[in-house]
Amino acid sequence: MTPGSVTSAARAFGSHGDGLPGPVMVVGSTGMLGRAWVALLRGRGIEHVPTTRVEVDLRDPGSIERTVDGRCRWVVNCAAWTDVDGAEKDFAGAVALNATGVEALARQCKRVGATLVHYSTDYVFNGQATQPYPTDHPREPLNAYGKSKAMGEEAIERSGCRYLILRTSWLYAPWGKNFVRTIAGLLRQRDSIKVVDDQRGRPTSCEPLAETSLKLMAKGAEGMYHATDGGECTWCGFAREIGRLLGTKCRVEPCTTAEFPRPAKRPAYSVLDLSKTERLIGPMTPWEVTLADVVKRLEVG
């Protein structure tokens, strides 16, 4: 299969007569992106099967075989090990989900003829670029999480299943554990905070990401794509915009990565090139616009 080709996946949409995809299984439906997917499918009236780790445990191949049984044309995998710092201490744990588990899921998709839609990360790159990373740029992860996700990408490519891999970055939603909710809490409590200003990337809101994914599926996209919100910023710029939208008085001061050492190395530059995606479905919405929508609806707690 040629990465990015528009093939049999497009034909699968037509089979329901309504232009919508056939039944969609959402693996990891309780996660931040998983919740956005389920809300989107419910809102559009698209038949779907949300699964939690009770039905599909990526560490248990038997559960994958039992549950991914061919009733769904699409398997959207939102499940992953996402604890970036934790992966440094437990690389085997991250690999068990992000590589071995994903490989088992891809094999099962091939077996039952389902298309696997999978999410990967900007952390598969080394962060040394000065312009956006194209989809075919060589993988060179800097940390254990990035390595486990790169191994997952490679496993899907090797599996022979029909797939769409979407690399994304800096995810957030009104729910779940994410930068926007953490910073909003700090901005409300403190007079000033320091935020890293030497890492650049693309914030991405989960709800538009699920919609972008569905649009790409409807266009029959297969292979590797990048999907983030438009524009770019540093974490400090991101935090300042959250403060501006919330109307808090807290000062957001820039600091360096060296001032806040973390177990896992982070890429200094991880902007993903969107041109392949935008050629197919049009421009991505600027991150400031999607952020304004989410900040109004942040869940408390």
Ligand X SMILES: NC(=O)c1ccc[n+]([C@@H]2O[C@H](COP(=O)([O-])OP(=O)(O)OC[C@H]3O[C@@H](n4cnc5c(N)ncnc54)[C@H](OP(=O)(O)O)[C@@H]3O)[C@@H](O)[C@H]2O)c1
Angle 30-152-141 (CA atoms, 0-180°, nearest 5)? 105
Known catalytic residue: 133? no
Nearest residue (beta carbon) to ligand X: 31
* 119: contact with ligand X by CB under 6 A: yes
State the Cα–Cα distance between residues 145 and 22, nearest whole angstrom.
Answer: 32
Tokens for 225? 């794509």
Closest distance of CB 16 from ligand X, Å? 26
Instruction: Classify residue 234 by burial, with Cβ atoms within 10 Å: 0-12, 13-18, 19+.
Output: middle
Candidates 11, 42, 44, 59; binder of ligand X (CB under 6 A) is 59
Interface with ligand X includes 114 (CB under 6 A)?
A: no
Q: Which position among 10, 20, 23, 53 is part of the footprint of ligand X (CB under 6 A)? A: 53
| Region of 75-83, 216-224, 232-240, 269-277 interacting with ligand X (CB under 6 A) | 75-83
- Which residue, 205, 158, 185, is CA-closest to 36? 205
Residue 141 in contact with ligand X, rule: CB under 6 A: no
| Residue 224 binding ligand X, by CB under 6 A | no
Task: Tell me which residues in 158-187 interact with ligand X (CB under 6 A).
Answer: 168-171, 176
Judged by CB under 6 A, which of 25, 40, 72, 79 binds ligand X?
79
Residue 35: which H helix or E strand, with range? helix 32-44
- Chosen residue from 50, 57, 201, 243 binding ligand X by CB under 6 A: 57
Instruction: State the nearest-atom distance from the C-beta of 14 to ligand X, in Å.
Output: 28
Pairing of the two strands 251-255 and 192-196: parallel
Q: Based on CB atoms, which residue is closest to ligand X, 204 or 248?
A: 204
Binding of ligand X at residue 78 (CB under 6 A)? yes
Helices (H) and strands (E) in the chain, counts: 12, 12
Residue 32 CB, nearest distance to ligand X (Å)?
3
Rounded to a whole number of angstroms, the minimum distance from the CB of residue 74 to ligand X is: 16
82 is an interface residue for ligand X by CB under 6 A:
yes
Interatomic CA distance for residues 7 and 91, integer angstroms: 36
The least distance separating ligand X from the CB of residue 31, rounded to whole angstroms, comes to: 2
236-265 positions binding ligand X, by CB under 6 A: none
Residue with tokens 């969107």: 274
Which H or E element spans position 99? Answer: none
The catalytically annotated residue of 119, 123, 133, 145 is 145
Could you tell me which of 26, 23, 21, 25 has the C-alpha nearest to residue 11?
21
- 65-78 exposure pattern, b = at least 16 Cβ within 10 A, e = fewer: eebbeeebbbbbbb
- Through-space distance between the first and last CA atoms of the chain, rounded to whole angstroms: 45
Which residues between 13 and 52 bind ligand X (CB under 6 A)? 28, 30-34, 52
- Of 169, 165, 204, nearest to 36 by C-alpha is 204
Site for ligand X (CB under 6 A): how many residues? Answer: 25
The catalytic residues are 145
Residues that bind ligand X (CB under 6 A): 28, 30-34, 52-53, 56-59, 78-80, 82, 97, 119, 121, 149, 168-171, 176
